[in-house]
Structure formats: C-alpha cells, structure tokens
Amino acid sequence: MDKHLFSTKKQSSRLSKLMGALIIMAMISLLLPSASLGQAADTAKATLPIGTSQVTKQTYPKTVGYLSFIVPIVTVSNTTAYNFSHATGSIGFPVGINVLYSDRFGFSYEFTPTIKSAGGTSKMSNLLFDPGTMFRFDHGFTIITRLAFETSGRYGFTPVFNKVYARTKDVNYFIALSLPARFGNAANASVGLNVQFGFTFN
C-alpha cells in the first residue's frame, strides 16, 4: 500500500513538472516572437524609401499549413475532470491546412493525435479530424467553427477563438481557446476548455 502510494505521488510530481515546463515554454513563445517582431518592424521602417506603402495586397485563394500543441484544461460531464490530475494527463498535437479565400473567410482542415499518460506509461489514445469554417477579423482575430469526429467514437463540434499575436517573415504565431462539445459512444455529453499554441507557415 505504501509503495503504491509513493509511486502515485512520484507520477503526480512528474506530471506537475511536465505541466510547469509546458507553461514556461508557452510564456517564452509569447515573449520572444513579440520582441523579434518589434525589431523587424523597426528595421523595415528604416529601410523603406519615403512614400513606399508597407501594405502588400494578398492574392487568394492562399493555402498555409500549421503546427501546434493543445492542452485540455477541464472537461465537464456528469463530473468535472481536470487534466494532469490523479496521475494522468493528455496533450494533443494539431496539424492542419488553412485555405484562405479572402481577408474575411477561409476553411481549415485539422488532424489532432492525442498522447495520454497514465499508470506510469503513455500511448496515443485518440485521433481527431475537425474541419471547419474560418471567419477572419481585424488584428489577427479569427473564429473557427469546427465539426469533430474522433476515433474514440465521440463526435460533436468545437468553437475556436484564435488570435495571431506575432508575425514574422516566415511564420505567424497564434494562441487559441477552444470549447469542445462531444456526444455519442454510450457516454454522457461533455464540454471542455482547451488552450492551444502554434504557428502557421507564411
């Protein structure tokens, strides 16, 4: 009994350290691109001839790929379950393609494999396909309405609130909050809260 309790505490400690490391990485990614963006903007202003416009017109349709990771925070069903509690945790790695048709509209195709850690081991536990329409606004803000189909047997929809917080020549960095609603597979309906960090290729 004591050995099992000690093992559970060690696993919980490892998961806490992993969560702390992820939060630190997220904070660094929030700070560094913004600093480099400011330097790039100043350099661009200094090298542009007087009277030259800084705005370049986009040509559509335009296709961009992206990479990211997503951390579920909480899931509410008949009970409330927090990620990284009870010596378990999961992280997803969304990858996808956005097809942009205008400054205001696009369509996103996304696949998310999820890795789950529990009982001292880890495995890929689920694959999610969640295509959706993109409604683009000023200042890098986008609302994405996704459908959701999981290999676990669950299905539903996911509204996503996405914000580009830094732009560079090669990539744009973004942060997103999502509210996944899931149904089916003989389980209670659920709704969750996730946070996602990533970048799109220009």
Burial class (CB in 10 A: 0-12, 13-18, 19+), 181: middle
What's at 95, amino acid-wise? Answer: V
Query: The domain 5-48+56-201 is classified under which CATH number: 1.20.1070.10, 3.40.50.2300, 2.40.160.20, 3.30.720.110?
Result: 2.40.160.20
Whether the upstream peptide bond of residue 131 has omega within 30° of 0, thus cis, is no
Q: What is the pTM of this model?
A: 0.73
**What is the structure's pLDDT at 44?**
41
Token pair for 81: 């379950």
Q: Using one digit for the tens of pLDDT, what is the confidence trace for 71-114?
A: 999 999 999 999 998 888 999 999 999 999 999 999 999 999 99
Domain chopping of the chain, boundaries: 5-48+56-201
d(CA 105, CA 101): 6
**What is the structure's pLDDT at 46?**
41
Q: Please identify every stretch of the chain with a pLDDT value under 70, giving residue numbers as ranges.
A: 1-56
